[in-house]
Amino acid sequence: MRFTPITAGSSGSTGTGPFGRLVLRGVTVVDGTGGPPYGPADVVIERDRIAAIVSAGRNTDMSQLGLRTGTADEVLDLPGYYVLPGLVDAHAHIGWAEQGPDADYIYRLWLGHGITSVREPGSLGNGLGFTVREAERAERGEITAPRIVPYVAFGSGTSEPIRTEREARAWVAEQAENGARGIKFFGAAPELFAAALEEANTLGLGSACHHAQSDAARANASHTARWGLGSIEHGYGLPEAMFTDRRIQHFPGDYNYNDEHDRFAYLGRLWREAAEPGSRVWEETIEELVSLGTAIDPTLVVYVAARDAARARGREYHRDYSAPQSWKFFQPDPESHGSFFFDWGTEEEVAWRENYRLWMAFVRDFHLRGGLLTTGSDAGFIYNLYGFGLIEELELLREAGLHPLEIIRCATANGARLLGLTDTGTIEPGKIADLLVCAENPLTNLKLLYGHGHLRVGANGAERVGGVTHTIAGGVLHDASALRARVRDQVAAERERLGTGVPSTP
């Protein structure tokens, strides 16, 4: 399938501010450091920075607390509300025109879920120039979008393949001049891969790798970590680093990597071919990755449909938030990447459930041993929608065994560290004011962060509760509920324009 570049974000910000002084009054703070919640507190924001956090005892008279923060241009009285650092989606593609009506649709879904920073790993389809321009426009406040950190896919934009180490280094240097903040690899000849990584590290660029099965036999996650790789994306490359009785995954003789049913069916059998959890090889692999400082950005959510395709097709949010372009792209189609459910049955799903058990065990053990674990969604593929996907990623880390406070740290402070954003990721004086506000405590139920809310039965019967109420990005205040409402209106208008109606499963 040939992909069409997406329409850029519309000029103009729908947010307000930054303010001379903005006060979030009476909130409970989850600061992203891993520390427990505290409050009530006033979070004082001056322009784009957190100026102070004025905290008091639980039973403090709120009027007295307010007096201690002084006057403000804007005050949000938020007793009982929770404030968290803005979320970081470390694997977030802007997408193509085949995946959404325009970039605004994607940006609003990100901000509408409290996502204030994203790493665009590869700038695929739209090109590095597009991503860099959108990143610059977002930084200047010219569009309603999170902070964008643009990476570029290794070797892209060349008329001839890269054949020598010198060419690899020159290509990396050129991308740095063009505005790339990092390089995304899928695999390459080992000498070219290592040379490109060395040059990227010399120039201060980030790096990430989706260890494609077509190249993992000659460069697995252990190899690339030793060469200086910044982050391992998805779960590829890790099992191959722990093979003990083989060097290559045991594909059947009639396997075809270009047939995505084959590719993803046998990806679901990969982890069982590796060393067992707790074994010497398992432990040594984790210890080496931790010691080398290589991060893991697992994107568990992007493949979760493989263990229960019907559940993924029926996600509640598709009704109101999946644009017809997105929904069409999700449907089984050999020409659409990730739309591999051509004949997806019980055997494939059972294999993937076991795959997840082992994969999650590795992610948990890596985290427990001090590894840098981050959160990414890779949304736009496999019934996984922008914004919503990152919240499900948090839920999947909970399933893997992480405490909610650890998960929030992975999604904020750890993500900022991976992206090289040293002045955001936690709620501390002096940090950039990248925050999300929600009316209830997401530590008790991560579903409260979903844009379509959480179903709860109360005195008035079943109702939707939750959802981020405000997103503050660089001191600019966004009404997250209004952003999501604009998405719903846009989706409805697109369905009417295209005559598609509400999504229905095949």
Q: Is 333 exposed, middle or buried (0-12, 13-18, 19+ CB in 10 A)?
A: middle
What per-residue confidence (pLDDT) applies to 62? 47
Predicted confidence (pLDDT) at residue 48 exceeds the cutoff of 60: yes
State in Å, rounded, how far the first CA of the chain is from the last one. 21
Q: State how far the Cα of 132 lies from the Cα of 134, in Å rounded to an integer.
A: 5
Q: Which residue do the tokens 């060097």 mark?
A: 247
Average pLDDT score over the chain: 95
Cα 87 to chain centroid distance, Å, stands at 8
Q: State how far the Cα of 134 lies from the Cα of 125, in Å rounded to an integer.
A: 14
Query: What token pair was written down for 98?
Result: 């085949």
Tell me 58's DSSP state. Answer: T
Q: State how far the Cα of 457 lies from the Cα of 5, in Å rounded to an integer.
A: 44
Q: What is the pLDDT of residues 78-120, one digit of tens each?
A: 999 999 999 999 999 999 999 999 999 999 999 999 999 999 9
Predicted confidence (pLDDT) at residue 60 exceeds the cutoff of 60: no
Q: What is the pLDDT of residues 387-432, one digit of tens each?
A: 999 999 999 999 999 999 999 999 999 999 999 999 999 999 999 9
H-helix segments, 253-332:
260-267, 280-292, 309-313, 318-321, 324-330
Q: What is the pLDDT of residues 169-196, one digit of tens each?
A: 999 999 999 999 999 999 999 999 999 9
What per-residue confidence (pLDDT) applies to 363? 98
How much of the chain is in helix, strand and coil states, percent to nearest 5? 35, 20, 45
Tell me 381's DSSP state. Answer: S
Task: List the one residue out of 409, 497, 478, 467 whose CA is nearest residue 34.
Answer: 409
Q: What is the mean pLDDT of the segment spanning 445-450? A: 98
Cis check: omega of the bond before 503, within 30 degrees of 0: no
- Domain annotation for the chain: domains and CATH numbers: 22-85+429-498 (2.30.40.10)
Task: List the one residue out of 70, 76, 57, 145 whose CA is nearest residue 109.
Answer: 145
What per-residue confidence (pLDDT) applies to 335? 87
For 280, residues 6+ apart whose C-beta sits below 8 A from its C-beta are none
Task: List the one residue out of 166, 181, 256, 183 whose CA is nearest residue 213.
Answer: 256
Q: State how far the Cα of 366 lies from the Cα of 224, in Å rounded to an integer.
A: 17
What per-residue confidence (pLDDT) applies to 474? 98
